[in-house]
Amino acid sequence: MDNKYYILILAVVALIAIIPLAMYSGMGEDEGYFGGADSSAGPVIEETGYQPWFSSIWEPPSGEIESLLFALQAAIGAIIIGYILGYFHGQSSERKKIEKEVKSDLNGSEEN
Amino acid sequence: MHIMEGFLPWQWCLLWYIVSLPVVAYGVVQIKKITDEHPESKPLLAVSGAFVFVLSSLKLPSVTGSCSHPTGTGLGAVLFGPAVASVLGAIVLVFQALLLAHGGLTTLGANIFSMGIVGPLVAWLIYKGVQKAGWSPLIGVFLAASLANLMTYVTTAIQLSLAFPVPSFAVAFNNFMWIFAITQIPLAIAEGLLTVVIFDYIMKLRPDILENLKVIGPKIKEKAQAVV
């Protein structure tokens, strides 16, 4: 795929994330929007009369700390992907350069 | 898809641990085997793990008005097989259970089963099927990653309905499907698209590794190299 298709695909992904924001614009967590699906299962389970028997041994003390840790998680992943794909990219352009030089050398020697 | 800490009766916790741990152990053996046979694939293993890290940290809004996240396990499953992806998924789930209070230690087995086993297995089967049918690997990757994502959440819904069949399994399943799976549909498409982009980029840069791992055939390799 050409690079322009990458941009197109990423734009579609962005759109998928933006559409719900636009659909429920003005709504917030207080109105029951944009909460996590994971935690919305909790009340449904508790309705059956079930009591959780174990709670997390450590919880992020605030939303700030939680977002810090989530950002850290994403950053760890992103830096690894960027480093390795960047390395691959360098390798492949170097390989191309060498191939080109070899080719032009060969052409040159034929002419002589 | 994270079942919250303590939200499964202990018998179910135990059961899912018993099912999941052997798969993760087998995955560790597979990682050793694959990296011994193809040491050049190590960086891709890191990329696959990192991809799970990034995608599972992105909580995206969905058309149902709640937020959920992709899983990112499809890439690892397509490249290295489902067992290896189980290990990658398990690492992320431990990180989230300990540091983020997302999921939990008691429900870890159940969460590894949905995100680390069913999802990757679905991805791998679909990719192999598409490969056999001779379709483009990109179509295979898209279907594999998006359906792995969706099936992960369907599995969570099944797990919760099995543990809480109130008033009946069918009713509970319907409820949990609404919470998890319907929210997930647009996110599954997003995950499929993102996985296609990174897979295509890898295929352009290092088709040789993908060929060694038997992810793509030699013909596709030549074509991919011609693009670069």
pLDDT tens-digit series, residues A78-100: 999 999 999 999 999 998 899 89
* Cβ-based burial of A111 (10 A; exposed 0-12, middle 13-18, buried ≥19): exposed
- C-alpha span between B64 and B174 (Å, rounded): 15
Residue of A4, A6, A13, A29 for testing the chain B interface, max B β-carbons within 10 Å: A13
What mean pLDDT is predicted for residues B143-157? Answer: 96
Place of tokens 């696959």: B48
DSSP assigned state of B206: -
Q: Which domain holds residue B155?
A: 10-227
In a domain, B2, yes or no: no
The pLDDT score that the predictor gives to residue A31 is 82
User: Among residues 25-44 of chain A, which lie with CB inside 8 Å of chain B?
Assistant: 27, 32-42, 44
- Residue A57 phi/psi, 5° resolution? -70, -25
Give the tokens for residue B26.
């087998």
The answer to whether B76 contacts chain A (CB < 8 Å) is no
Check: CB of residue B4 under 8 Å from CB of residue B104. yes
Interchain pair B187, A16: CB under 8 A: yes
Portion of chain B with pLDDT greater than 90, in percent: 86
- With 80 as the cut, is the pLDDT of residue B227 above it? no
Sign of the torsion angle spanned by Cα atoms B57, B62, B66, B71: negative
Q: Which of B50, B75, B51 is nearest to B213 (CA)?
A: B75
Residue ranges of the domains in chain A? 1-55, 57-112
Helix (H, G, I), strand (E, B) or coil at B214: coil
Peptide bond into B167 cis (omega under 30): yes
Distances (CA, A) of B92 to A29, A34, A49, B53, B126: 27, 23, 31, 6, 24
pLDDT tens-digit series, residues B43-101: 999 999 999 999 999 989 999 888 999 999 999 999 999 999 999 999 999 999 999 98
The minimum CA-CA distance between B56 and chain A, rounded to whole Å, is 8
Number of domains forming the structure of chain B? 1
In a domain, B1, yes or no: no
> What is the pTM (predicted TM-score) of this model?
0.92
- C-alpha span between A99 and B74 (Å, rounded): 34
Check: CB of residue B101 under 8 Å from CB of residue A54. no
Please give the residue of chain A at the shortest CA–CA distance from B53. Answer: A77
- Which residues have a Cβ under 8 Å from the Cβ of B177 and sit 6 or more positions away? B154, B157
- C-alpha span between A90 and B119 (Å, rounded): 33
Interchain pair B52, A69: CB under 8 A: no
The confidence band for B166, taking pLDDT boundaries of 50, 70 and 90, is confident
Helices (H) and strands (E) in chain B, counts: 11, 2
Please give the residue of chain B at the shortest CA–CA distance from A39. Answer: B4
- C-alpha span between B145 and B127 (Å, rounded): 9
- C-alpha span between B190 and B177 (Å, rounded): 19
Check: CB of residue B61 under 8 Å from CB of residue A25. no
Assign residue B103 the CATH number of its domain.
Answer: 1.10.1760.20
**Identity of the residue in B98, B200, B205 whose CB atom sits nearest the CB atom of A58:** B98
**Identity of the residue in A27, A36, A84 whose CB atom sits nearest the CB atom of B46:** A84
The pLDDT score that the predictor gives to residue B221 is 76
pLDDT tens-digit series, residues B180-196: 888 899 999 999 999 99
